[in-house]
Amino acid sequence: MPALVVRGEDTIVFVNRALLAATGYGAAELLGQKPSLLFPRGGPTSLELARPNLEQGRVWRGETVLVCKDGTLYANDMWVSPVPGVTPRGYTVATCQDLTERRSQARLLLTDRMVSVGTLAAGVAHEINNPLAFVLTNLSFITDALAELEREGGRPGRENVLRELSEAVADVREGAERVRDIVRDLKIFSRGDDGSRVTVDVERVLESSVKMAWNQIRHRARLVREFGQDVPPVEAEEARLGQVFLNLVLNAVQAIPEGDAKANEIRIATRRDPKGHVVVEIRDTGVGIPEEVRRHLFEPFFTTKPVGVGTGLGLYLCREIVLGLGGLIEVESKPGGGAAFRVLLPAQGQPALARTDRPGTASSAPVPPRGRVLVVDDDAMLASTIARILSKHEVILVGSARDALERLSRGERYDVILCDLMMPEMSGIDLHAELAKNAPDVLPAMVFLTGGAFTPHASDFVARVPNEVIEKPFDPAALRALVAKRVAERRPAVGA
């Protein structure tokens, strides 16, 4: 995440690599300068806007704009935090998140949530239709009985009819309450994400997730609850936490073959660990996870499910949500021995968990490896934007295919080569042809970028080469995920 440290109010004393990649500046160009260098002229800097908060020792947060070296604007969500007591003037830390990245992640979260809703639609319809059926039937009976009483007046047996009417009304009320409860649980998953956190009871969210998935659970396994007595609340976005639990429950369900529900079990447990963290564990007696699959579980777009069943985003997003809440997610499994997913969250008021808080018995999620990416594009502004999007990797920019060919001819190695298809003098197609003759082992790393204005020659090329082609304008999150997947295929993940 891009960050800088300012001494007092007027001197930048530290910038990290992510900030340099985001703005295009070198460290020497920023260190010792005023923060105003990075903000639009004539307007207040975020540090000036944050001053009232800083004076009270509080963090300031707001959407702001940085001016990059090339004059382009970097829209971001910025946190400005005081670091008092270091010197009489103090230090201030500013960190920012690309708004494009945050909004792209929000789209991915919505996509995954819609997949979950699609998976559960039939079950939810079944759960609602049952109470609706006897509500409507009883209402029809009540209507007919009231009409009959009105016609016949004080006939014998009137008391029995009134008793039956009373019982029918009670049934109607019970059915309506069941529908109300289902709708209440649905609201957790349909609620928009505004980024605000509230006090959340994890057991209530777990119960809502179970109710949503119940029609699938009951056909595959017995459900066992082990809820601790002293589990504290957490601070979270309820919809996102519900999305995590629902994904993990559905994964447990799908790991168990249909047909023998009595012999299988899904166990949901909550507890408080010795450090006071909230632990939620979802364990199943399913087929288990092979080691070679477990290493890739949390990678975006990785899935072992058939086409049309999963997006490969579920566990990746679970991890991103949990990390965003200051927690950790872990998995332990062996083939044929079921699997257990464990979510650790800081209790309300606790700081985020550190890596050392991970229990030694659990297998931690691997850290995605850092790759080396070559971007070949004659549009310097677009190339800089790509570098900003891929700031977690080492990104080298070249403005022509000839420059790229020269680097590759010298034996430079890259995990991914993002190459514009149509460029003056030497196109991406020409570069591919040269490499096919002189360095064919490089070709699998190539991914082509195109604005879509194909010539017949370009259309034929795209149709016959196996390399991926990304249309401009591209989705930043999708590009980031594609590069992460390519890098992971060529480099081992840290901790794997």
Written as one letter, the residue type at 473 is: P
The confidence score (pLDDT) of residue 74 equals 82
The confidence score (pLDDT) of residue 484 equals 87
Same fold, 3-102 and 372-490: no
Measured over the CA atoms of residue 157, residue 158, residue 160 and residue 165, the dihedral's sign is: positive
The confidence score (pLDDT) of residue 329 equals 92
State how far the Cα of 187 lies from the Cα of 170, in Å rounded to an integer: 26
Give the residue among 169, 165, 234 at the shortest CA–CA distance from 197: 234
Given 3.20.20.70, 3.50.50.60, 3.30.565.10, 1.10.340.30, which CATH number is that of 198-364?
Answer: 3.30.565.10
Determine whether 147 is exposed, middle or buried from the number of CB atoms within 10 Å of its CB (0-12, 13-18, 19+). Answer: exposed
Helix, strand, coil fractions of the chain, as percent rounded to 5: 45, 20, 35
DSSP string across 406-417: HHHHTT---SEE
The confidence score (pLDDT) of residue 402 equals 93
State how far the Cα of 484 lies from the Cα of 473, in Å rounded to an integer: 19
pLDDT digit string (tens) for 398-447?
A: 999 999 999 998 888 899 999 998 888 899 999 999 999 988 899 999 99
DSSP state, residue 421: S
Low-confidence ranges of the chain (pLDDT < 50): 85-88, 118, 122, 190, 192, 194, 307-311, 359-365, 493-496
The confidence score (pLDDT) of residue 258 equals 83
Fold (CATH) for 372-490: Rossmann fold (3.40.50)
Where exactly are the structural domains of the chain?
Answer: 3-102, 198-364, 372-490
CATH code assigned to 3-102: 3.30.450.20
The confidence score (pLDDT) of residue 477 equals 76
Burial 190-206 (b: 16+ CB within 10 A, else e): eeebeeebeebebbebb
